Structure formats: C-alpha cells, structure tokens
A and B are shown apart, each in its own frame.
Chain A
Amino acid sequence: MASFSPPLSSTLPTSLNRVHFSRRNWLCFLQKRNQSLFLAKSIENGAGNVNSIATEEKRESSPVAVAEKKEEGAKKAESLGLNGTVSTSVKAEVPSFKDERWVGGTWDLKQFQKGGKTDWDAVIDAEVRRRKWLQDNPEASSNNEPVVFDTSIIPWWQWIKRFHLPEAELLNGRAAMIGFFMAYFVDSLTGAGLVDQMGNFFCKTLLFVAVVGVLFVRKNEDIENIKKLIEESTFYDKQWQATWQDENSSDKN
C-alpha cells in the first residue's frame, strides 16, 4: 500500500495480471510464438476498447490468454501516447434507450391513455423496462435531455392495487391457514375453544408470534436476512466502542 500515484501505462493490466497470474505462467510459453502477431493486431485495433478484443482472435489459444495478450498490446499502445485522452472509445455497441412515449426526459402521459384515463399500469411497465435497460446498458447522463421522471406522479392507489394487494392476499391467506390449524390443534389438546383461547395470555402471545412471523418471514432467505440485519445495525457502534473495551479491560489489570 506504499504508493498511490501509479504511472498511467501500468495501471491498466495490473488487476487482470494478478487474477490470471497462475494461469499466465503455463499459458505463456504456449503463446510466445503468437505474441508478435497479437501485438500488431491489437495496436491497429486501437487501445481502450478492451471489451471486444477477446472475441476477435479465433486461434487455438484459450480466451484467457488472448485477452491477456491483448491487454499487453493495449498497454503498449497506451504507453506510445495514443491514449491520454478521455475519448469516446467506449463506443455504444448497444443503442441507447429509445421509446416513443419517453419524451423530454419523462413519460408523456398523454400517450398512455386508455378509455379516456391514464393507464398507470402501462406507465409502470414502461418505467420498469427503462430501468432494466439502463441497468444492463448504462448510459451517459446528458444535460440536454435531463431525466426528470419522478415515480410519485403515479398515484398511490395504483401502487397499492398492483403491488400491495397481491402480497397482502398471500400473507392473509397464510395467516388464515396457520390460524385455523393452530386453533384446531390447541383445541384438540386443551379443549379450549376459539373464544377461550383468545382470553388466554399464552395463546395471545402465540397469535402475536404467528402474525409477526408471517409478516417478516416471507421467503426462506428472510430468516438469514433478519439475523444479518440485527448484527449489522449494531456493528458500527461496536467498532466505535472498541477503544473503550480496551480501556475497561486494562482497568481490571
């Protein structure tokens, strides 16, 4: 961790080199004779466009070694001074997001009319598609066409109808099933009917646990997630208190 201003030419392949170090050793001698050809090809390819170079060569060499040699070629090209600029070399091989209803950085609600009213479901679908697209293909943010869409323009009842209600139905169903069978089970064990059970404190506690369980544990992973959350919420505090733990233990000495 000594120096933090590495020269430009060496920055590019260092991480790649570290990862492929072990493979590189035994692949290296296989590829030596092809090296000069690779270098020539990659320099003419132009430095900086790292992603697509692995697909070019169809030699018997494995893709790993190809990428590696290309990296070396790219590195040499860089040190030749070809690449000191923030160029647009990351060319968009994928087209940017386009949708005729996406106008001026937001969804044009007039194009979502259905039966005289806005079809909010379609707006939600369109936004989901846009976000998915951008997640997979991030784009440059632009000042000429800033994105100003805000999800709060979609009315609250639409969100409830589409997302909350199905989930609520599911959870209520689970709670009802658990409730019915637990009531039957406890009745068969103790003879207390539903009304009597509700008067009992232990049964009320069980009911509370069942409701909380249904609400918070919706998938199998949730149990682990809750445990992690609890630990996470106090972790930072513990890190800050660490120097005081140390003091208390030295007091006892």
Chain B
Amino acid sequence: MASLTSTTAAAVARPARRRSLAVRASATSVKLAGRPLRVAVVGGGPAGGAAAETLAKGGVETILIERKMDNCKPCGGAIPLCMVEEFSLPLDLIDRRVTKMKMISPSNVAVDIGRTLGPDEYIGMVRREVLDAYLRSRAEAAGAEVVNGLFLKFDAPQEPNGPYRIHYNHYDGAKGERGERRTIEVDAVVGADGANSRVAKEMGAGDYEYAIAFQERVRIPEEKMEYYRERAEMYVGDDVSPDFYGWVFPKCDHVAVGTGTVTHKADIKKFQAATRLRARDKIEGGKIIRVEAHPIPEHPRPKRVSDRVTLVGDAAGYVTKCSGEGIYFAAKSGRMCAEAIVEGSANGTRLIDESDLRKYLEKFDKMYWPTYKVLDVLQKVFYRSNAAREAFVEMCADEYVQKMTFDSYLYKRVVPGNPLDDIRLAVNTIGSLVRASALTREMKKITL
C-alpha cells in the first residue's frame, strides 16, 4: 500500500512542477480601492459554512446564500474524529458515538470491527441540520452575512476585472413563499450548493456519475435500539447493492436503514427491500418515519474552477469511493478554498484570479489524492462480486486491517506499519480472495 500512495503522489506532483516553471505574469494583482474583496458562497452546508467562516475571518466581505435554513439533509451523518478537532466542534453536536461496526457478508458471516479503537476514539453521528446550523452561526459570528435565498444564476463579468452579478430569490418570512428577486455584485463565487449544484451548471463544470442513496428512517423499540446504541452495521451483497453497501446507522432516537447504487438505480427499491430483509430481526416492529433519497457524486466534476468561480464539497464531487464519505471533505475543501482566497487577496485587499483558486485545487488534490485513490482501489477490488465481498468481510476480522482502517478514517492519515505486517496482510488478502473466488466457481457448477 505504501508504494501505491507514493507513485500516485508523484503523479500528482508532476503538474505542479510544470506549472511553477512557467513564469506567468498575473494580469491581476489589482489592489482594490477602498473596499474589501467580496465573495459569495452559494450553499450553507458544511462546505459553505466552513468557507464563509474562514473568508470572514480573513477579512473578506462574505455573503452566504442558503435556500433552506432548517434543511434536514438525508445523510449518513458520520464524521471522523479529525473533523471534531480541526473544526473545533463542540461535543454536544454529536448525537451518538459509534465504536463498533458490524460487517455482514452475503452469506451472513458477521464480523465486528472496532476492537482496536481506544477509549476516546469513535465515529461521531450528527444530525445534519444541527451541524449545518452550527457552522453557519460560526460564519455569521465571524462577520459573514447569512442570507436565506435561492441562487438563480450569475452574469459573467463584462470586463476582465469586473464583478460577477448574482441573481437570487431572497426569502423573507414577511413576504411569503415567493421571495423577492435580488441581485448583488461580487468578485468571486464559491459554489457549495451540493450534488445538484446550480453554480456548477452556470459555470459549465460538466457532469459526473452519481450514486443514488436511498434511506428510510425507522423508529424501533427500545430494546432493539439498545443494540444499536454504539453500533452501526454494513451489509454487503448483490442482493443489497451491486456496487455499494446497505447500512443501518443509529441516529438520535431512531435508525436509518438504507442502501445505494450507481449502476442499477431503477432497482433501488428492490435493494432497499433486501436490506430490510437482512436486518429484519433487528428492526422488526419498527415504524418508518421518513423516506429519503439523495445523489452522491462518484468523482469530481471535469471542471472545478472557471475564472473566479470555483466549487467545493459535493458540488465539486469530493466524495470518496467505497465508504461514500463526504462531510469532512466538504468542510475541509471549503476551508482550503477560503484560505487560498484570503491568501491570494492578501486578506481581502487585492482582487484574486483563477490561479489563486487553482492553488486551492492543487493543495486539496495533493493532500487527499492518496486517500481517494486507495478507497477507489478498495472499491474496485472488494465490491466487484459476492466472492470479493466475502473476502472483504473475512479480511475485516484481522486486527491489523481494523487498525489501518480506523486510523485512515478517523485521522485521514496512514501510519506506515511494520513491513512484515504489510506483507502478511497482502498474503492474507490474496488468500481470502482466492478462496472466495474458488468457492464461487464451484457455486456456479452446482444447482440446488
């Protein structure tokens, strides 16, 4: 695994070196006369909130446009420990601390992972509406203007250093549902408006493949809820999803049972029924209180920056494969983008240009590319077929695997272990895969 990450890091470093050799006279280091840089952040989720806070703290005049302040996002809601530390989240934001995960294979082999977690280590489960509101309130406290409105479109600048003109529907409780059409002028736009980003459409960022995640929130009886107090479950199998997994995640007072898929979206209901069947004994007697679905991007959009407009979070497509994790990367990319803008504008005194935004892209790509690539490889290897999934669950029983998995998830870093352990892990992985595929070939031969 170590060699894989170093070659991919080298591959990413190459474009950076090429660019720094080219001497480019930046046309804009225009000092803004008498006013700070104005940036509009479209979308008030984790990405938008983090971006707006960092921008406001850096002296940039920020406006955060969010269409639904109490939006209850359908989301797994899992955040890693590093997010709590890096964003100084208060611990009461976290509803539950998941310290045990159960992986269940197609033939119901169940493996508990989490033995290697320390007493202070957990996966935090949050309610999105609570987290999003908190981050927005921090942005507001830092000086950003938080506006309840729906972004409609923007007009590109008329001349090279001209402003972007943003059109949005301002919602004010008094005026009722329709909202009042307003325009503002800003120098840069940060699109943080999620998977169906309108900013992305306006800037011609291109499309991406996406998975549909479908989940039902189920309120189950107390004694069954006790089982899920600190435990989340992952079900893998062709019946549950051909390219993703089904899950049961505990929320504040109910569980979320769901599944997702990229390639067979039309069969999502079938997969959901299969997930409910697999978890049947544990959620029996539960009442469905809400059904929701949302798209999850599979990879970044072809174009993430265009002149002075850029994308962060789900709008850019920063969701990992294999686990489908997006909250942390959304917040982090929002913060990194804002930092690049603050730096490029010398704390809001100069106009920025595309190269400043590209610096943020470069930094983000370089820092997290190994994580994304490794998860992509894991997905390609282990979500391929039922045989691979059986091998995957078998591998999860290994303590070394558990330790590496949690380290890389909770802290977003991989501490290279003992090379002997790595070799043993590689041998065991290959062994598991070979055994599982041998059994699958035999399965094809028999008819029951």
Contacts and interface: CB of A to CB of B under 8 A. Distances in A.
Interface of A: 1-2, 4-6, 8, 11-12, 15, 18-19, 84-86, 88, 90, 124-125, 127-136, 138-144, 146-152, 154, 156, 159, 162-163, 232-233, 236-237, 239-244, 246-248, 251
Interface stretch (B77-85, B152-160, B173-181, B274-282): B274-282
B435 A11 contact: no
B244 to A, nearest CB: 16
B397 A150 contact: yes
Contacts of B218: 86
A243 B304 contact: yes
Q: Ordered nearest first, which 10 A-B pairs have the shortest CB separation?
A: A140-B280, A242-B302, A239-B299, A163-B438, A138-B239, A128-B442, A243-B304, A141-B108, A132-B443, A86-B286
B303 A129 contact: no
29 contacts: A1-B196, A5-B74, A6-B293, A18-B266, A86-B276, A128-B442, A131-B386, A131-B443, A132-B448, A138-B106, A138-B240, A139-B277, A141-B282, A143-B227, A147-B109, A147-B110, A148-B109, A150-B109, A151-B432, A154-B435, A156-B431, A237-B373, A239-B208, A239-B300, A243-B301, A243-B305, A244-B15, A244-B361, A248-B15
Interface string B61-77: 00000000000001000
Contacts of B305: 243
Interface string B421-446: 00000000001101110111111001
B253 interface: no
A228 to B, nearest CB: 11
B144 interface: no
Contacts of B376: 236
Interface string B284-327: 11111011111100011111110000000000000001000000
Contacts of B294: 4
Interface string B338-382: 000000000000000000001001000100010011001000100
A68 B237 CA distance: 28
Interface string B84-112: 00000000000000000000101111100
Nearest to B368: A240
A144 B240 CA distance: 22
B121 to A, nearest CB: 24
A86 B303 contact: no
Contacts of A142: 108, 281
A110 B299 CA distance: 50
Interface in B215-246: 216, 218, 227, 235, 237-240
Nearest to A14: B269
A6 to B, nearest CB: 7
Contacts of B397: 150
Contacts of A146: 110
A136 B279 contact: no
Interface in B126-155: none
Given A135-B386, A141-B104, A236-B376, 5 more contacts: A86-B285, A90-B277, A127-B439, A131-B390, A138-B239
Contact of B373 (A4, A236, A242): A236
